[in-house]
Amino acid sequence: MKNDVLKVLLTEEQIHERVAELGAQIAKDYADKNLLLVSVLKGSVAFMADLMRAIDIPLAIDFMAVSSYGSGVKTSGVVKIIKDLEIDLTGRDLLIVEDILDSGMTLSYIIDMLETRNPNSVRICTLLDKPERHQVDVPVEYIGFTVPDEFVIGYGLDYDERYRNLPYIGVLKPEVYESAE
């Protein structure tokens, strides 16, 4: 698995430190609110698991799954709901926990959909942001790290369902996906 990694972009320590900072900020901002963390499966599971333990106020969690990518590395622009939320959103302060903001298409679609269900507020927390790739304007309150336009894997992020269990975030060697095409 390690042999497929071109370089490490963010170490375990860097991620851990940043997640603690984000958690502290979120706990402060949501102290008097009704926080519901919404994790978008599967890429955000590692981030969600660490982030929720860094937020020291009462909160609820829920999960949804959408597909926008297929198995490859290019966005299709098509967002399909695979698994919907279970919790009633009325009066809740939603914080969508995402792995990476790339084109922004997925998040833009999710936000529009969730806003129709009468939440008190909807905001976004993304671990990674790739500003060079944005195609739609999505307002993001919390960003872990800004990353260059490279395909990254690890800490939840996959290539063809692999590498999610890497404890750090790295760049995949191009020959790994070139050989699969």
Residues known to be catalytic? 102
Alpha-carbon distances, residue 53 vs 56, 72, 106 (angstroms): 7, 32, 26
Per CB under 5 A, the segment of 87-95, 108-116, 130-138, 158-166 that binds Mg ion is: 158-166
The nearest distance, CB 104 to Mg ion, in angstroms, is 11
**Tokens representing 177?**
């996906």
Does the footprint of Mg ion cover residue 129 (CB under 5 A)? no
For residues 95 and 91, give the distance between their C-alpha atoms in angstroms, rounded to a whole number: 13
Does the footprint of Mg ion cover residue 43 (CB under 5 A)? yes
What type of residue sits at position 110? I
105, 127, 166, 169: which one contacts ligand 5GP (CB under 6 A)? Answer: 105
4, 113, 158, 171: which one contacts Mg ion (CB under 5 A)? Answer: 158
Q: Sign of torsion, CA 169 173 176 177?
A: positive
Residue 103 near which of ligand 5GP, Mg ion, none (CB within 5-8 Å, type-dependent): ligand 5GP
Per CB under 6 A, the segment of 10-18, 55-63, 100-108, 112-120 that binds ligand 5GP is: 100-108
Alpha helices in 75-180 (DSSP H): 105-115, 174-178
For residues 94 and 117, give the distance between their C-alpha atoms in angstroms, rounded to a whole number: 11
Residue with CB nearest Mg ion? 43
For residues 63 and 1, give the distance between their C-alpha atoms in angstroms, rounded to a whole number: 28
Does the footprint of ligand 5GP cover residue 75 (CB under 6 A)? yes
